[in-house]
Amino acid sequence: MTPTAPSVDLIRIATRESPLAMWQTEFVADELRRLHPGLRVELVSMTTKGDQLLDSPLAKIGGKGLFVKELELALMDGRADIAVHSMKDVPMRFPDGLELIAILEGHDPRDAFVSNEYESLAALPAGAVVGTSSLRRETQIRSRYPQLEIKMLRGNIQSRMAKLDRGDYDAIILAAAGLKRMGYDARIRAELSPEESLPSVGQGALGIEARSDDAAIHALIAPLIHAATTTRVLAERAFNTRLNGGCQVPIGGYAMLQDDGNLWLRGMVGRPDGTLTLRDEITGAATEGEALGVALAERMLAAGADKILAEVGIHADPA
Ligand SMILES: NCc1[nH]cc(CCC(=O)O)c1CC(=O)O
């Protein structure tokens, strides 16, 4: 080991047992073994409430926080040192003593259209059934394609694909990143443009949570931090936080770094029934990404996002 190597020789990673979570955890475990030869990496796997309650709409049973809470307990109890999350499932606030210590390089942030018969959303006939349980996807599809029918679709990626294949849906919408991680690249018929479906805040990026005071673990993980993705995702999260949006709400947020050093951040807030979707965007210095996120949120709240969010039970704090 190099002189600057941290003083731990074992790292335990808390993970859910779903195939996507396991893939993401194994990915981080491999990166750590590559960066730190000799380091022992152990997985502490568990099934969370979110994995067990697969038939209820997530918004009704407590949102996506369900997927991370049990992992966080393992970190707080000292049963594990880090947890690997899809950034879009990470709540905006952390329990005392825990924090996000790294955002990794993000890949495809877009939503993907999967169907056995049709090429794209636009090609679907009136009355076709589209599967998604995301209010964000639902509001955007309904506003552009009011002739389509949206039907709830939950479960892990494999079971969602199986439900499509047995004919329960004409098409389903999933995150492209998750499909690619699970080897379903060839089943993506189209990627939705940000105009059709603005992605979820943090979509496609992985994050690592750990105890705030664990300097040795922070040092082990630091080389995995990806600066550009961190800038993007923190701007998106600042936007979401100012809207007081948890995860399972009709909010999209998508930042892109531009060659001139600016960050272009687009936002969407909509009614789930598609009768009203607000979109706005802001561009400014990437170094001010979080301020851009807050500014965009405030503009959209003033333009009526506050009323839409109140309809779904979310109240943004006054400015
Ligand atoms: N909602 C669950 C979830 N969390 C992360 C991903 C995909 C991978 C990612 O966005 O990083 C998915 C599946 C999906 O939305 O289709």
- Closest C-alpha to ligand 1, atom 2: 89
What residue type is 177 in one-letter code? A
Domain count within the chain:
3
Task: Give the residue-averaged pLDDT of 109-129.
Answer: 98
**pLDDT, position 5:** 46
Higher pLDDT, 67 or 312: 312
Which is it for strands 40-46 and 10-16: parallel, antiparallel or unpaired?
parallel
Complex ipTM, two decimals? Answer: 0.95
Pair 89, 24: CB distance under 8 Å? no
Indicate if 174 and 212 belong to the same structural domain: no
Q: Which of 81, 89, 111, 170 is catalytic?
A: 89
Q: Is residue 174 lining ligand 1, measured as CB closer than 6 Å?
A: yes
Instruction: State whether the beta carbon of 86 lies less than 6 angstroms from ligand 1.
Output: yes
Q: What is the mean pLDDT of the chain?
A: 92
SS3 299: helix
Rounded to the nearest whole angstrom, what is the distance from the C-alpha of residue 5 to the centroid of ligand 1? 33
Q: How would residue 249 be classed by pLDDT, with cut points 50, 70 and 90?
A: confident
3-state secondary structure of 295: helix
Tell me, yes or no, whether 260 lies in a domain: yes
Say if pTM beats, i.e. exceeds, 0.90. yes
pLDDT at 231 over 90: yes
Q: Whose CA is nearest to atom 9 of ligand 1?
A: 204
Burial pattern 269-278, b for ≥16 Cβ within 10 A else e, equals bbbbebeebb
Which position has the token pair 């599967």?
131
Query: Residue 111: CB within 6 Å of ligand 1?
Result: no
Q: Is the minimum distance from the CB of 109 to ligand 1 under 6 angstroms?
A: no
Distance 3 CA to ligand 1 centre (A): 39
Inter-helix orientation angle 227-242/289-300, to 10°: 30
Q: Give me the percent of the chain exceeding a pLDDT of 70.
A: 90
214 is an active site residue: no
Distance 20 CA to ligand 1 centre (A): 8
pLDDT digits (tens, 9 = 90+) for 17-75: 999 999 999 999 999 999 999 999 999 999 866 666 555 555 555 555 677 888 999 99
The answer to whether residue 5 is domain-embedded is no
Which CATH number fits the domain that encloses residue 162? 3.40.190.10
Same domain as 101, residue 37:
yes
Are 239 and 186 within one domain?
A: no
**pLDDT of 85 above 50:** yes
176 CA distance to ligand 1 centroid (A)? 8
Question: 171: domain range?
Answer: 111-191
Same domain, 245 and 99: no
| Same domain membership, residue 16 and residue 68 | yes
One domain for residues 163 and 294? no
Any idea what the CATH number is for the domain that residue 269 is in? Answer: 3.30.160.40
pLDDT digits (tens, 9 = 90+) for 255-306: 999 999 999 999 999 998 889 999 999 999 999 999 999 999 999 999 999 9
CA dihedral 49, 54, 55, 59 (to 10 degrees): 60
The pLDDT tens digits of the residues spanning 134-166 come to 999 999 999 999 999 999 999 999 999 999 999
Considering only CA atoms, which residue is closest to atom 8 of ligand 1? 178
pLDDT at 4 over 90: no
Cβ(89) – ligand 1 distance below 6 Å: yes
DSSP count for the chain of H helices, then E strands: 11, 13
Judge whether 249 lies within some domain: yes
* Ligand 1 atom closest to the CA of 87, numbered from 1: 11
Query: Tell me, what's the pLDDT at 57?
Result: 54
**Closest approach atom of ligand 1 to CA 107:** 11
Residue 199 lies in a domain: no
Q: Which helix (H) or strand (E) holds 147?
A: none
Query: Do residue 57 and residue 24 come from a single domain?
Result: yes
CA-proximal residue: ligand 1, atom 15 (nearest): 175
Q: Does residue 149 share a domain with residue 133?
A: yes
- If asked whether residues 145 and 72 sit together in one domain, one would say no
